[in-house]
Structures are given as structure tokens and as C-alpha cells.
């Protein structure tokens, strides 16, 4: 068994099977550690927004998406260059993200300021990574039915 030292109190990990890299969130350091899984070594540390708590990888688009709980934003990482290429405001209390490679959509869970009772999932079209802040997002209820479209500010 191998161990790899990353940031203080790591919280989430996602693996890109195409590049043999793992991405680990380090909330207390506002960073993501990039691990070369073939050599079990950290090869980069990427600074992101405040309190990164979850990460998802889209190996088809060479992107990683990181929810930042304290800043209420999603950081978009180019996994080829290991740099943040975009940051988008979504909602308060972001806790999780998942990516559908086929539809180019990311699903972001927001606990919100009321402790998670609002049950929102934000559906992001991530096919246009250069213009993420200008997108409109669909707000979903707990049943998954659209409630309304909400412009991003």
C-alpha cells in the first residue's frame, strides 16, 4: 500500500483514467492536488476558490470541475495544463458536482443558506468553457422537475 502526502484535511478525489491523474480537494488550503497515479506522486497544486469540497472529472473534455463551498463558485480546471481556466458563480452552499460526458452537462448540488432544505441541483452546460459566467441555469426541485430559469449574475 502506498500513501501520498497532499494538502491539509483532503476531502474529495476524482480520477481521470485517460491521463492517469487523480484530483484531490484540499479545503483548508484552497487548492487541488494533482497526482500522477502511475508514480503515486503529486505533480501539481492548483489554487482554486474558497473551501473546495468536491471535484469531478470529464476526461473527454480535459476538464475538472471543483465546487467551492465558501465562495459559492465552481472552478473549471484544464486538466492538460493544470490551470483554472474559468470560475462561475452558481449558488450558495455548493457541496457536490457530477459530469455527464455525453451531454456536456455538470450537475451541481447546492445546500443553500438554509442548511440544505432547498434541495437545488444546478444544471450547467459546460460545452462552452470560455463563457461559463454568461450562461443561464435551470433550477430543479427535489423531484427533478424544472422550476424556473435563473439568470446568472
Max Cα-Cα span within the chain: 49
DSSP bridge partners of 136: 151
Local confidence band at 118 (pLDDT 50, 70, 90 cut-offs): low
Tens digit of pLDDT for each residue in 59-92? 999 999 999 999 999 999 999 999 999 998 888 8
Give me 86's grid cell.
474559468
Is the pLDDT at 152 greater than 80? The verdict is: no
Nearest to 21 by CA among 70, 79, 69: 79
Strands 41-47 and 52-58: unpaired
Domain boundaries, the chain: 13-151
Tens digit of pLDDT for each residue in 91-102? 888 899 999 999
Residues 6+ apart with CB under 8 A from 20: 36, 37, 38
Local confidence band at 122 (pLDDT 50, 70, 90 cut-offs): confident
Q: Looking at residue 129, what is its pLDDT? A: 55
Supply the DSSP symbol for 60.
Answer: T
**Of 29 and 150, which is predicted with more confidence?**
29
The reply to whether CATH 3.20.20.10 applies to domain 13-151 is: no
Amino acid at each position: 500500500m502506498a500513501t501520498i502526502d497532499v494538502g491539509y484535511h483532503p476531502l474529495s478525489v476524482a480520477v481521470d483514467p485517460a491521463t492517469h491523474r487523480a484530483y484531490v480537494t484540499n479545503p483548508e488550503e484552497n487548492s487541488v492536488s494533482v497526482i500522477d497515479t502511475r508514480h503515486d506522486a503529486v505533480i501539481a497544486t492548483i489554487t482554486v476558490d474558497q473551501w473546495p469540497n468536491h471535484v469531478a472529472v470529464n476526461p473527454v473534455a480535459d476538464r475538472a470541475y471543483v465546487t467551492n463551498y465558501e465562495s459559492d463558485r465552481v472552478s473549471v480546471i484544464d486538466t492538460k495544463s493544470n490551470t483554472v481556466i474559468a470560475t462561475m458563480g452558481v449558488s450558495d452552499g455548493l457541496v457536490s458536482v457530477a459530469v455527464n460526458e455525453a451531454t456536456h452537462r455538470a450537475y451541481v448540488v447546492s445546500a443553500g443558506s438554509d442548511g440544505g432544505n432547498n434541495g437545488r441541483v444546478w444544471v450547467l452546460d459546460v460545452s462552452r468553457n470560455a463563457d461559463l459566467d454568461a450562461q443561464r441555469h435551470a433550477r430543479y426541485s427535489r423531484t427533478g422537475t424544472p422550476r424556473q430559469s435563473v439568470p446568472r449574475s
